[in-house]
Chain A
Amino acid sequence: AMEESPGARIREGDCAVLKRGEVFKAVPVLRRRKIIFEKQWFYLDNAIGHIYGTTFEVTNGGNLQPKQEVEETTTETKEAGTDNRNIVDDGKSQKLTHDDIKALKDKGIKGQEIVQQLIENSTTFRDKTEFAQDKYIKKKKKKYEAVITIVKPSTRILSTMYYAREPGKINHLRYDTLAQMLTLGNVHAGNKMLVMETCAGLVLGAVMERMGGYGSIIQMYPGGGPVRAATSCFGFPKHYFDNLHEFPLSKVHSLLSGTFSTETLPSDPEDNALVEEESNGLTEEKQTSLQETEEEPTTEAPVEINQAEEQETMDINAEDVEFKENKEKENKEIVREKQMKQWERRKKLTETAALLREKNADGLIVASKFHPTPLLLSLLEFVAPSRPFVVYCQYKEPLLECYTKLRERGGVINLKLSETWLRNYQVLPDRSHPKLTMSGGGGYLLSGITVVLDKGKADSSNLEALKMEEPSPKRCKVQDLHC
């Protein structure tokens, strides 16, 4: 399978990501459709056919045109002050009024021009230090130059976007934590992976990207069906979905105890009111104390992807139906179709159950809103020995308990509870320093490796686990024996 190169062109129906500065937004590429992004509105029609990574300017009619590379004309001898001892803030340094600026905008004057005018009409600009001048220009450019870059979705971009815009939907999983999970889980082509996530399908998408369509994935889901809103933003080729299976969590116990049957399926996704994290970001979660600068969902209704069980809407309008028989025929059709679908789902479920029963998965990735302990204790049964597993949790405490319970169970080694910190830097000549804010919490990970479980050893390992946890330094030596 040929991978799509970064030089791919923007096509109608793609899911693209808009980028302005550090802000991202995923949108479907559709003709004659108004997009609102960062307080600007425009149409994507003109972007179609251009290469991903192109930067566009927004014209007055909301059209996009590729930005011409302008050579910065800094021929003028720069005047600058050395310090701000004589700069007084009287609020009168800018000679242009709000109305003047608005008039310039209404005339359709280019953003660059407006910035130039602002500089020329600033009485203090020439007294500012060179650094302060740079900063002033940067700030004004950001405000008045309407440029947007259209980029191809990737785990890097989508995980950054989700963490910035809708962290609640992905349980505050920061992108560096997701990166750790993919590495700790040794996710690669050819694996048979087990994924349990309630992160809008972002973690699933990340795993799919790393597997490149080779191998298979079994996604365990709660409720009526897996949420894959973020997954559909990746724009994966069709064949990536050939070996993607799903299995309801509510059936795990019966599968492990051997009483599994497909007779009692969880209800259809469309019958199920998934209140939270609906697949189009229309239902906004109540975010506590998060000041949203603007009301824009991360993703607009994503482009539908060839999923067999995607919703279909049946509009039956009684007035359109002239004859009763017709209507009855239609009803029969619907019933038959429902039965067909049900049968199709059962067949799939039976196949997935068989895959799980082999108990030879190459890894387990968990990132959900549920308590990790019961998930781990059950799902690890499906994993082959000597394979990595990784559990994400937004909080540390559930993982402490999970750690203890896994030790009691045995069959795992090299357990590690960890967290990563991420620090971004501003790097500029003579002005390098860490960025002023860094993220407080990106969640915690518990990782380990499965080993062959001796059935008889559970008790002694329990004892060992208790020993392990005694804080006295004398006991620490015990750890060096066995795990």
Chain B
Amino acid sequence: MSFIEYGDTIKDGDTAVVFLGHESMFPVKVQHGTVTQTKYGVIRHSTDLIGKKYGSKVICSKGGWVFILHPTPELWTMNLPHRTQILYSTDISIITMMLELKPGSVVCESGTGSGSLSHALIRTVAPTGHLYTVEFHQQRAEKAREEFREHGVDHLVTVTNQDVCKNGFGVSDIADAVFLDIPSPWEAIGHAKSALKAEGGRICSFSPCIEQVQRTCLAMEEYGFTEINTLEILLRVYNVRTISLQIPDLGKAAEDNSGTGFDSSSPSNQGSPGVNLQQGTVQFKSGVPLKEMVGHTGYLTFATKS
């Protein structure tokens, strides 16, 4: 197993994801002799995990069961220990595409934070690319290094513990893309420009507040970046439900069905509404938006150095 290469069976030392059901899961480090407690009972690593196929169902001691999943950057994002506010997969996906990342790309990132984006970037640029990530908080930088080692991707990433606004990325004329998620990105635009290859590249800055975006855009313009474009992406998730609505009783005679306005003879297999006149209801499938959704994460500003 590693975050950049699928494996079929669970091995000692792997990071696996225990899936308990509906959006409830957690990562686990697989080790001989270790046990993991879940609400369905105990999982014994030596017998229940090691040597089993990823995607298998594991019966826990209380008879309940869980699935064991192969780790991916997306699953990691949903389950990682937060040391900072993190970026989620919706933003990560547009960042990856708009920065034109692919195997072989060299990327600079600051700050490393909890490593949510870092894992996704490493996955995309492997096996021949590299991530240079800068984090000014010493403990966080150290923790990130440890995680990359544990996940088998440390050869693809260099973590530097310094202030990107003062000292830059520690590399120059090497990057295809730069990503900034810091409180004052406008102070790092100059460093970003020198980190990017002479022949050009892409840059992205993530900021929650529009005032930060304005200063960043001005700085980008000042340093000669082109194609400056700010956008925001929002994820809407839908629950799939079968809804039944009552047909109102308007006092029509029961044998006269035409008055309901529904054609009860229509076959109800092709997703057409099922009309049940006995119960006086109509059934249909609906994608119901969640009660609450994320309304704002941050603005993403992209630009090109050419």
Contact = CB atoms under 8 A, between A and B. Distances in A.
Contacts of A357: none
A196 to B, nearest CB: 20
A480 B233 contact: no
Nearest to A7: B199
Given A188-B126, A413-B67, A483-B22, A156 B199 contact: no
Given A175-B97, A471-B242, A452 B103 contact: no
Nearest to B285: A400
Interface in A161-205: 175-176, 178-180, 182-184, 186, 188-191
Contacts of A214: 103, 127
A304 B54 CA distance: 42
Contacts of B199: 5-7, 51, 53
A421 B236 contact: yes
Interface string B162-204: 0000000000000010000000000000000000011111000
Contacts of A414: 19, 23
A273 B228 CA distance: 43
B126 A401 contact: no
Nearest to B73: A186
A423 B300 CA distance: 10
B97 A182 contact: yes
B120 to A, nearest CB: 7
Interface in B29-77: 53-57, 64-65, 67-70, 72-74
A52 to B, nearest CB: 9
Contacts of B242: 469-471
A431 B177 CA distance: 28
A286 interface: no
Main secondary structure of the interface of B (DSSP, over half): mixed
Which of A400, A404, A422, A429 gathers the greatest number of chain B CB atoms within 10 Å? A400
A449 B271 CA distance: 25
A180 B213 contact: no
Interface stretch (B86-94, B144-152, B253-261): B86-94
Interface in A261-309: none
A385 interface: yes
A154 B202 CA distance: 12
Contacts of A186: 72-74, 123
B69 A396 contact: no
Nearest to B104: A3
A243 interface: no
Contacts of B5: 190
Interface residues of B, number: 80
A39 interface: no
Nearest to A421: B234
Interface string B214-240: 100110000000001111111111111
A418 interface: yes
A154 B100 contact: yes
A212 interface: yes
Contact of B218 (A53, A425, A429, A469): A429
B306 interface: yes
B159 interface: no
Interface string A375-399: 0000000001111100000001101
A417 B287 contact: yes
Given A5-B176, A189-B126, 7 more contacts: A3-B128, A5-B199, A186-B74, A386-B69, A400-B287, A413-B67, A452-B56
29 contacts: A5-B176, A6-B201, A7-B199, A154-B100, A155-B97, A179-B97, A182-B93, A183-B92, A186-B74, A190-B126, A191-B6, A211-B103, A212-B128, A213-B103, A386-B54, A387-B6, A401-B271, A404-B285, A417-B239, A417-B240, A417-B287, A419-B238, A421-B236, A425-B213, A429-B218, A454-B57, A469-B285, A482-B64, A483-B19
